[in-house]
Amino acid sequence: MTDPIAAWPGELVSVGAGEVFVRSAPGLEGAEPALFVHGLGGSATNWTDLMDVLRNPPADRPDEPSLACEAVDLPGFGYSPQSASGDYSIDAMARVVCDLIEKRKYWPVHLAGNSLGGAVCVRVAARRPDLVRTLTLISPALPDLRPRVVPMRVMLLCAPGLGPWLLARVQRITAEERTAISIRDVYADPSLVHPKRRAEEVAELVRRDGLGYAGYVLLAAARALVAEYVVHWGPRSLWRDAVRVSAPTLVIYGSHDRLVRPAMAALAARAFRGARVVVLSRTGHAAMRECPGLVAKEMRALFAGTRRCAPAGGDGVRL
């Protein structure tokens, strides 16, 4: 088994009233900008392998665009400090993404998000269409009135008084065991995880355990996501945002996803106008980690036929 590549280097970037950590994988000359947003409990390193594939055109199709990839640690996750405002709502995280794109001055971008990050990206694409060239969603955490067993754990964490108690009990489990549980939840085939990647995840979990605020941030973000599920089809809901998205869109689900029902693909196909919706076989919740080459192929199919356009000058709704 070949050793995986190391995480891309990064830096703290000032956005709004705070800072976020951004990892960058430079593309070739004339590369198109892309920004990736992780899921609940994840970080920018979730996109390491996919960024590596997308920064170089396929050998048999050298005319395809190279991507200049960046992946952000949402406030309080990865190496980003806590939110300066203490707001971990989907709206607040979407504002951070918009602020980062504007700060980098590279819009419109190819925007991609997984799980919670998918929800954030839907809101960005709906409210600030000027910033988004294409939208890729991988197992997006959009409201589902029939949640599965694993997401029910997240809902229990959101219960008043119960969440902190449960989180404290979970943190008594060793980092190795918690990592194994997470991998079983996310991957259709846990054996695909390279031992080096597993060791990296354990080390990262140990590091975050020592931060003091990681548990609070996880609870706050989980509650924000559950709040979006409550409104479901309201005028400011994520599904209403999905209907408003005008960017060319790709939505990827995994046939063996334990967190997001693959059956949601049918609803996504109706909600996102003209979107390509695919269900990858023998794939779990984070396809960009399990099969980055296949995800890159689907994304390149999305990019074909799109052209770089001039910045629209902020015609969207400000978050």
Per-residue pLDDT tens over the stretch 178-231: 899 899 999 999 998 999 999 999 999 999 989 989 988 988 898 888 888 776
Structure tokens at 168: 């404290």
In 3-state terms, what secondary structure has residue 13?
strand
Rg of the chain on CA atoms, in Å: 18
In 3-state terms, what secondary structure has residue 250?
strand
Q: Which residue has the tokens 């089809």?
A: 233
Global pTM value: 0.90
DSSP 141: -
Beta-sheet pairing, 10-15 with 18-25: antiparallel
- The answer to whether the beta carbons of residues 166 and 281 sit under 8 Å apart is no
Residues 36, 114: Cα–Cα separation, whole Å: 8
pLDDT in tens, 39-68: 998 999 999 999 999 998 887 787 788 999
pLDDT in tens, 128-159: 999 999 999 999 999 887 765 545 556 555 55
Beta-sheet pairing, 67-73 with 132-138: unpaired
What residue ranges do the domains of the chain occupy?
10-145+230-303
Per DSSP, the residues of 35-91 read EEE--TT--GGGGHHHHHHHTS--TT-TTSPPEEEEEEE-TTSTTPPPPSS---SHH
Instruction: Answer whether residue 165 shows pLDDT above 50.
Output: yes
Does the structural domain 10-145+230-303 have CATH classification 3.40.50.1820? yes
Structure tokens at 149: 């067993």
